[in-house]
Structure formats: structure tokens, C-alpha cells
Structure 1
Amino acid sequence: MLTSLTVKQFALIEKAQLELESGMTVFTGETGAGKSMLVDALGAVFGARASSDWVRHGAEKAEVIAIWDGEDVRINALLDEQEIELEDELILRRLISRDGRSRAYINGTPVALKLLQQLGAICLDLHGQHEHQILMQPGFQRSLLDARVSDQLRQAVKVACEQWRQMKSRLHDLQSERGQSEQQAAWMREQLKALQLLELEPGIGDALQAEVEAGRHHAQIQHSANQALQLLDEAEPSARQLVAKAGHEVAAAAPYHAGLRTAAELIDQIDALLGELTPELSALLDDSFDEAQLRRNEERLMQLFEAKRRHGTDEDGLILLIEQWQEQLSQLDTAGWDEASLSKALDEAKNQFVKAAQALTEARTACGAELSDALRPFMDRLSLAGMQIRFSVTANAQQETAWGVDGWDSVTMQVMSNPGEPWRDLAAVASGGELSRLVLALKGCGLLSDMPHIAVFDEVDTGIGGETAWCVGELLAAMGSERQVLVISHLPQVASCANHQVVISKHEQEGRTVTQLRAVEADQRLQEISRMLGGIDDESSRHAEIMLARGRAVRAL
């Protein structure tokens, strides 16, 4: 809650400091005393757009300091993001210069104005504007009904909607993919057929290249093999004969020297290798030349080179491409079955959503009637007896674009100002005072509980009096039991219900008008209530005592 407010050189306020407490605090004073300046000061310290009019004439700058004391995880998160040290108190400071520029500080750290505004959304409901503005939003009006609808119904709609959207998205993706893939599939099939004709396998390129080279040089291979065989076996002397003779010579003296024994072993190995070489060369002489096979190998090798160039990969990459294309084409072949299955699933999901949304529409309609009836007693007490209110629930069943996790309903609060008049949207006809009292009526029904910590009401009692004023005061006091409530009022009934009272007055000082704020208690408060009743005399004092006693009784409830 707000524990302290200091205002310096702000409009007609030269300097004022207020210590604020929990519950309901009422600000009273003569008309024109400057009660609205307090509202402006609160707005300034919570990030309202600066105005040079806020700076007191003759001063260089205006200053507003507010001290906030309380725990809120949202506030802690905001400060943590800005690396502002968390302390027991939150000190907000706003300086406004004569040219309209301003600076903002939190716990002594300069901050952007946006941060004050974010804190204001959490802490301050200024002028009741948060409730008033949000009350006119269709989404919030729907939430008033949803607060009375079972969680199970709303959850069923959410789950059904998410399932419907998922099925719709998957079917759309499949259909888009099929449409885009028809030409690609034809191309893949053509390329796949060409690659399959190459009969690809690991190392096929090197093998083909070797066969082509052997075919192209067949005559040279035959000649070389024949000459080698003659030198090895048929020449006089042949290579094998010479090796054998060398071995015989070495073997004769080998027992006498280790080097000769090694030489003898090596000659034996050479003789063995020459024996293996002869069959290899003979086999080449038996190999017949197949020119047609050479041409087939050359063509296949050329196609392999072209495929690698076209697809920008090697042989292993081509083999992988074949596998991938075969899988993709298989998926495309079964896509028709998948589309039929998804279409069926989409119809089922749509039916589930329609069923859940219809149930939610019926529940909202019933809750709207119940809430209208529940509001009636409070509206009668708040001088809104002539106003009829209803919740118009329209199911947009034929507009899928309106379907969502909250159903398909458009909910609008409508009012009939007088019997026989047409129903009109609340936002179009309700005045600020009527909206303020309607907020109180909703609060009396147990709604609007998730609001900022501080509520400021400046026009809630406009145009009312008597028992209606007492009702407003009672409801504001009840609200003060849950959050801090600041009320600017000219009605003694409302003032009597407050926990605390501050008098705003103005007087002339050294030729200048000065506004002062003064907390009053006991006799001073009795005197202020008497003034609000029309005059300070014995009769007014007795009446004021009765009203303050009634206010104490209201707060004790």
C-alpha cells in the first residue's frame, strides 16, 4: 500500500506531506480547494504524461514522492529486470520541469517513465479508470460471466479448440505440401529412374574406370604380358633360369658366410614370386577383347560423372539420394490416405469444439441473467433503479474466424436507461458517475477482485445523496478491507464511512494561493463533517456525531 505521499511545488500545492494508512481514506474540502490536484500528483508519480501546468507558478520544478510498502512478485520481477536493488520500501520520485520534461527515480536509481507506468498498472487504479475502461471492453465483460461459469466447461472449450486448430493446421500443411510437391515428385521419379539404371554401389566409379582403362589398352596389355612371359620362361637364358643359376652359385658357398645365406633365402623368395607371376601373365593372354563391353562401360562411366556433377555430390551421396527419394515418394503415395484420416480427425475435433462451445454459450447466457438479477439490489441502492442491464451473448457459430480458446461468443453489457427505450451498449450511454457506481455494484456481487492495490475514486458520488450516498460509502468501506481506497467526495455520508479523513483547503499566503492537506481526527473530523452538512452549529454537530457513529458501525461489519 501507499504509506507516504510528498508533493512539492505542484500546481497550488507549495509543500504537503501525507502519511497514509490502509482501508478507506476520504479527501474532503470546499469546492475549488484543489482536490483534483491530489489525483494529478498520484498520476504523476505513477507515470502519467507530464504537463508544465503541474509546476507551481514561479517554481523551477515540481516534485512528487511516493513510498510504497508491500510484497508483490510482479513488482519484484520488474525491479529485478532493471537491476534495481530490492528494499523494504519502494520510493518513487518524479520531477517535472517548467518546460514539461520530467525525470523518474526508483529507490534513487534513474529509470524510464515506462517503468513507473508498469508499476502504476500493478499498484494504482487512478480515477477508477482501470475499472471503468476495462469494464467497457468486450473481453472483460465476457470474463465477468466466465467468473461464474465452471472451470470444467471453459477448459473443455480450450482443449477442443486447440485440438481443432492442430488438426486444421496439419491438414493445411499436408495439402499445401502435396500441391507444391506434384512437379517435384515427377522430377524425382525421373531422376531416380536414371540413377537406378547406373546400378550404383560403393566404389563403382573406380571399378568402371579400371575396366575402361583396361579395354582401351587391351593390345598393349597383351603385348606386354607376352614379352614378359618370354623373358621369364622362353628366352635363352630365361629370367627364371638365371635366377636358378644364381641360387645354385650362392648355395654352394652359403655355409661359410651369413651374407650368402641371406642372399640364398632372398633368391628362393624371388623364384617363388616368379612362379606366381607366370600364371597371372598367362591369364592375360587368354583374355579376349569385348569392344561392345568397353563402349557400355564408357557410357556408364560418363553417366556417372554427369550425375555427380548435376547433383553436386559423390557416389555415396547419389546412393543416399536414391534412398531419400524412394522414402519421399513412398510418403507421397500414401498422402491420400493420410489426408482422408486427417480430414476425419478434423471433423471429429470440430464437432467436439462445437459441442463444447454451445454448452459454454448456454452457461454464459444463464450466468448473464443471474448476474443481472444479482446486480439489481445494488443498482437500486446506488440510484440506478431506472437503469436496466443485461448481458447480450451472441454465438458466432458460423464464423470460424471468431472461434477461439474462449469459445465463439461475443458478450456485450447493454443498458436500457428508461423503460421502453432501446437497449444500447454500456460504453455508448453510461456516464462516468454511472460507471463508477456500476463498478461498486459489481464489487458488491463479489466481482472485480483482481484489481490494483490502490483504488482512487473521484466522481463516484456525483449526482447522488441520501441513502444512496450511504450505500456508496458502505461499498467503498467494504472495498477498503481488501485494498487501499482513496476517495475524493463532497458527501458527508461517504466521508463518515471512511477509516481516515484528510481535509484539503486553500488560503492566501504572501499574496499567493496555497493548497494544504491536513489529516483530521476526533473533534476536527466532527467539525469537517458538520461543515459538509451545511454549517458548524449544534444541530450540525449532533447530526455529524450520528453519521460518524453509523460510519463506525459500517466499518465494523
Structure 2
Amino acid sequence: MLLSLSIKNYALIESLETDFSNQFSVITGETGAGKSILLGALGLVLGNRADLTSLKDKEQKCIIEAQFAISNYNLQSFFDENDMDYEDKTIIRREILPSGKSRAFVNDSPVNLQELQELGAMLLDIHSQHQTRELTEENYQIDILDAVANNGNNVIAYKNALSDFKSTQKELKQLITEKEALVKEYEYNSYLLNELLAANLVDGEQEELEQELEQLSNVEFIKENFERILAIANEEQVGAIMNLKEIKVSLQKIATFSTQYAQLQERLTSSLLEIEDIVSECEQNNEKILADPERLELVNTKLQSIYNLQKKHQVQTVAELLVIQNELDAKVIRVDDLDGAIQKLQTELNSQQAKVDELANTVFENRKKTAPILIEKIKAILSQLGMVEANFQIEINHTDSYYPKGKDEVILLFSANKGTSFGLLKKVASGGEMSRIMLAIKAILANYSKLPTIIFDEIDTGVSGEIAIKMGEIMKEMSTTMQVFAITHLPQIAAKGSSHYKVSKRNQGDTTISELNLLTSEERIQQIAEMLSGKDITDSALQHAKALLN
């Protein structure tokens, strides 16, 4: 509820600070006194756009501050989602600077206009005769039905189930699309994979095969050189090993004469052992070296296969070919895996759809059952407001489509007079009729859901007498469960208020100033009497005013 309002340097208002009661407050005043200015200031709090024309003094900034009690509105999650500081008594402040820049704050935290508009819509509803368009919108008509049908939890459960269903549906669609793409490539990928598998690739084998190819291609040359080495090393008279042994014997003979000679002898002994070992390995390799045309052809074929695959896949190594082989294997296997995943997801989707349909049907049945009850409630209130012959039809069509609030299409039809055909509300109801219908609906909703503070702006236009009294009584009854304001020209409605505020304007020097004052009991009598008879208040008007207040 709106606890207080502070306005500085806005339009005709120099400075204004007012506290409000939590019940039914009426605001009266002469035409042009500033009631629209008050609503304009509240509109800025709700996130309406501002401009420099709003400033009374163009050199000073305009500040509008409204304090709301919000503990009953379950708004903690909204504050958390928008990174705002939550307070049970929340202050919304709007500033318009002389530069034209506008700033908004919630509990001193800066917010953007969209966030302010979303919060404002949950706190304050300014309703005028010209603001009944929402009543003609299907979503609003559904909300009315659901409030009376106590469908809130069912609709929330439906929304959650629908969200899960659509998420699974999206995932399934992605898998099917992926499978279709893979199936198109399946045969080609399988061919490429089989080609790589047939090559029996082993990481590092290319280098070994290339070395073996070199050996097999040069058998005769290698054998010729091995035999030459062995001949030089092992010849009986002048072989390298025989000569080295003779040198070793000579060094042994003189080794005792010098440590240097002894070291030379040791070094030669060690070298001789290494040479003998080398010659032994050369003998072994010489024995192994044989011409093998079949192996040569096999190695050459295997290498050519590797080279062809590398060229085909535009890589340089067997390791890279093995990576491609693994990727192709995964793609081929993925097609089979996708079949299982798709089947599992389809089963889950069917289950989720059944749940959504069940919840949607529950919502539909509640709406269908509630529609005649809602119609009778609206007709009963409208009858009090002078629309005795008003009648409604609510058509609820259960469809196959999944809408945000169910599977239903709702159409509200209206007939103002007996014998006239039903038509769409927005086409057949006049402005005055729409205002009274909206008042009736708001009065009904006040008993079923926690509505934000509502301000009725001259919704009583075009009515008088007994109907005006009934309007005032309905608003007063609404105020038992919510905060209600009525800006009115009718004394019958003004008299029903728990608190009465008067908007007036006065001249101060060269400027005009608007003020808002809470009237005392005596001032209320005078104000209502003036509303009855004009500036020249008669005794009869005073008595009538007292009677209305009583």
C-alpha cells in the first residue's frame, strides 16, 4: 500500500508531503486544481517517461518520492532477481534534472525504467474511464476467471510442466536434426572409417617402414660394405684387429716404465674390446641381410597406402590419421546411440505432455465451472450500479494449442440491454458501461487475490444519485481488503471515504501553487456541501452533507 508521497518542484507543486491511510481515501477539488498533476507525479513513480516540462523551476531538479508497504505482496524474489535491496517499507524515488536527465531509485539503489515499471505495476494501479482496455484483453479475462476459480496453483503447475515439456521438445528436435545430418554422412563416414581400419595403422610405424624400405632397397650395397669391413678387420696377417693386438703387446712391454704408458695400454685394451664387439655385430648383421623382394613389395605397398591416406585427409602423420579414425568412429557410433537417446527422450516427452494435458484440463474444468458464477457476481454488482439488464457470456474453447496459461481460448461477450445480441465487450460496451464493469470486476477480485493499491480516477463520470452512492459503497467495501483511492466530483462518493483529501491551488506572488490537504471532519462537511451546492453553501447543503457523511 502507498504510505506516503513527497513531491518537490513538479508542475504547479512547489513542495508537498502527505501520508495516506490504508483504507478508502477520496480526493476532491475543482477542475484544474491539480488532481491530474498528482496522478502525473505518481505516474513517474510507476516508470512513465519524463521531460523538462515537468519542472516548476527549470533551474532546480524535481524529486518525487513514494513509500510503499510491500510485505504482503511476496516480492522478495523480484528484488533478488533484479539485484535490489528489499525492505518491507520500500521507497521509490524519481529525479528529473534540469539537464533533462531522469534517474530512478528503489531503496536508494539505481534502477532502469523497465525494472521500475515492472515493480510499479505490482504496487499501484491507476484506473480511469479511459483505461479499461485491459478488460477487453483475453489474458486479463483469463486472470479474472482464474482468480475466482482459485486456479492460481494449477496455472503455476501447468506453466512449470509446460516449461519442462518445451525444454525436452527442444532437446529432442536438436537430436533429430543431428541424427538427420549424421545419417546423410553415415555411408561416407563409414567408407572413410573402413578404409582407415583396413590400413591397420599404428602410431610410429611410418618411420620404421621407411627405414626398412631403405634397407630392403639397398641389400647388395649394405652387404658389400659389411663384408669389406669384416675383411679389413679380420685378415690374418694385416687385419686391423691383428695389428691392434700387436700394438697392445708392445705397450704392455713398456707399461711398467711409466704411468702414462700404462694408461695408453689400458685405453687401447678398452678400444680393442669395443672394436671387437663392433666387428661381431657387423658379422651378425651381415648374416641377416638377405634380399627379400616379397617383403620389399609389402613394405612399399603399406607405405603407399599411408601416403595416399595422408594426402586424402590432408595430414602429415599416422598419429593425425588415427585422430581422424577415432572421430569417424565416434560419428558412426553416434548414429546408433542417437536412436536410443531419441527413443528415451520421446518417451519422456510423451509423459510430460500427458502431465501438461492433465493440468490444462484441470484448469479448463475449473474455468468452465466458475464462468457462470463469475457472470452472476458481475451482474449482481452491475444491477446495483444501474445496469439491471446487463448480461454476459463467457465462451471457453479447449484447444490443442499450448498457451502460457493453459490450452483455452476465452471470449467475454456482453449485452447491455434485454433482447440485444451479445457482442465483444470492446465493441458493444460504452465508456461509462466499461467503467462500471471494471469497478464490478475489481470489487470481485478484491475478495480473491491480493491486488495492488488502486486509484479510481473519475470512474464515476456520467453517474449520479443512488448509483453514485452504490459506487461509493462498493469502493468502501473493497477497501476492507486493499487500499483504495477515488478521485471524484461526486459528493455521494466523497462522503464514503475514510479519509478525505482536497486538491486546491492558490496564487503566490507571480506563480500558482497546487496543494493537497487532509481535511478535518468540519472541513469535510464544508467541502461536500460545496460539491452539492457550489461556492454559495446553503444550510440545506450543509444538512445534506452531514447526512451523507453519517
Q: Same fold (TM over 0.5)?
A: yes
Once the two structures are overlaid, the 10-residue window that deviates more, 224-233 or 348-357, is 348-357
Q: 1:23-38 to 2 correspondence within 5 Å? A: 23=22, 24-31=24-31, 35-38=35-38
User: Shift of residue 372 of structure 1?
Assistant: 2.6
Using structure 2 for the length normalisation, give the TM-score: 0.81
Could you tell me whether the CA contact under 8 Å between 1:7 and 1:64 is conserved in 2? yes
User: How far is 1:221 from its partner?
Assistant: 0.8
Distance apart, 1:215 and its partner CA: 2.0
Per-residue CA deviation, residues 406-425 of structure 1 (Å, 9 max, x unaligned), is 33112233322223333333
Q: Distance in 1 between matches of 2:237 and 2:501?
A: 137
Q: 1:69 maps to what in 2?
A: 67
AA aligned opposite 1:272: L
Is the 1:45–1:65 contact (alpha carbons within 8 Å) kept by the matching residues of 2?
Answer: no
Is 2:318 aligned against 1:331? no
Residues 489 and 495, structure 1, Cα contact 8 Å, conserved in 2: yes
Q: 1:273 to 1:491 in 2, by over 3 A?
A: same
- Counterparts of 2:348 and 2:79, CA distance in 1: 43
Give the C-alpha shift of residue 315 in structure 1. 2.1
3-state SS of paired residue (1:17): strand
The alpha-carbon deviation at position 269 of structure 1 amounts to: 3.5
For residues 202 and 2 of structure 1, the distance between their equivalents in structure 2, rounded to whole angstroms, comes to 79
1:315 correspondence with 2:318 = yes
Alignment correspondent of 2:491? 492
Q: Distance in 1 between matches of 2:184 and 2:274?
A: 61
Question: Could you say what secondary structure the match of 1:280 adopts?
Answer: helix
Cα RMSD of the aligned pairs, angstroms, is 4.2
Q: Paired residue for 2:426?
A: 427
Gaps of 5+ in 2: none
Q: How much has 1:515 moved relative to structure 2?
A: 6.1
Letter in 2 for 1:361: F
Q: Contact (CA 8 Å) 1:142, 1:412: kept in 2 or not?
A: no
Provide the rounded CA distance (Å) in 1 between the counterparts of 2:97 and 2:374.
45
User: CA–CA distance in 2 between the matches of 1:81 and 1:7?
Assistant: 28
Alpha-carbon offset, residue 196 of structure 1: 2.2
Superposed CA offset, 1:111-134 (max 9, x none): 977676566445542335898444
Give the Å deviation of 1:426. Answer: 2.9
How many angstroms does 1:229 deviate by? 0.7
Question: Superposition pairs for residues 25-424 of structure 1, below 5 Å?
Answer: 25-31=25-31, 35-43=35-43, 46-49=46-49, 65-70=63-68, 90-94=92-96, 120-128=120-128, 132-147=132-147, 148-150=149-151, 153-154=154-155, 157-158=158-159, 160-234=161-235, 236-254=237-255, 257-286=258-287, 287-309=289-311, 310-312=313-315, 314-333=317-336, 335-336=338-339, 339-340=342-343, 342-397=345-400, 402-404=401-403, 406-424=405-423
**In the TM superposition, what whole-angstrom CA distance separates every residue of 1:215-239 from its partner, at most 9, and x where no partner exists?**
2322221111011111121253222
Q: How does 1:465-480 map to 2 (within 5 A)?
A: 465-480=464-479
Q: Residues 164, 102 of structure 1: CA spacing in aligned structure 2 closer, same or farther, 3 A cutoff?
A: closer
Cα displacement (A) at 1:213: 1.5
Which consecutive residues of structure 1, in runs of 5 or more, have no partner in the other structure?
Answer: 550-557
What SS does the corresponding residue of 1:392 show, helix, strand or coil?
strand
Letter aligned with residue 380 of structure 2: P
Letter in 1 for 2:224: H
Q: Is the 8 A contact 2:26 2:487 kept in 1?
A: yes
Inter-CA distance 290–66: structure 2 relative to 1 (3 Å threshold): same
- Which SS does the other structure have where 1:396 is aligned? strand
Take 1:123 and 1:157, find their aligned partners in 2: how far apart are those partners? 26
Equivalence for 1:534: 533
The code of the aligned residue for 1:428 comes to K
Distance 1:540 1:323 in 2: 98
> 2: distance between equivalents of 1:182 and 1:80?
45
* Corresponding residue number in structure 1 for 2:520: 521
Q: Name the CA shift for 1:451/1:63 in 2 (closer, same or farther; >3 Å).
A: farther
Tell me: CA distance 1:350–1:41, structure 2 relative to 1, closer, same or farther (3 Å).
closer
Maintained 8 Å contact 2:192/2:328: no
Q: What is the deviation of 1:508?
A: 8.2
Kept after mapping to 1: 8 A contact 2:159/2:404: yes
Q: Report the number of matched residues.
A: 535
Structure 1 residue matching 2:454: 3-state secondary structure = strand
Per the alignment, residue 555 of structure 1 pairs with none
| Identity level (%) | 24
Q: Which residue of 2 aligns with 1:20?
A: 19
For the structure 1 residues 238 and 405, does the alpha-carbon distance in structure 2 shift closer, same or farther, using more than 3 Å as the test? farther
Give the structure 2 partner of residue 455 of structure 1. Answer: 454
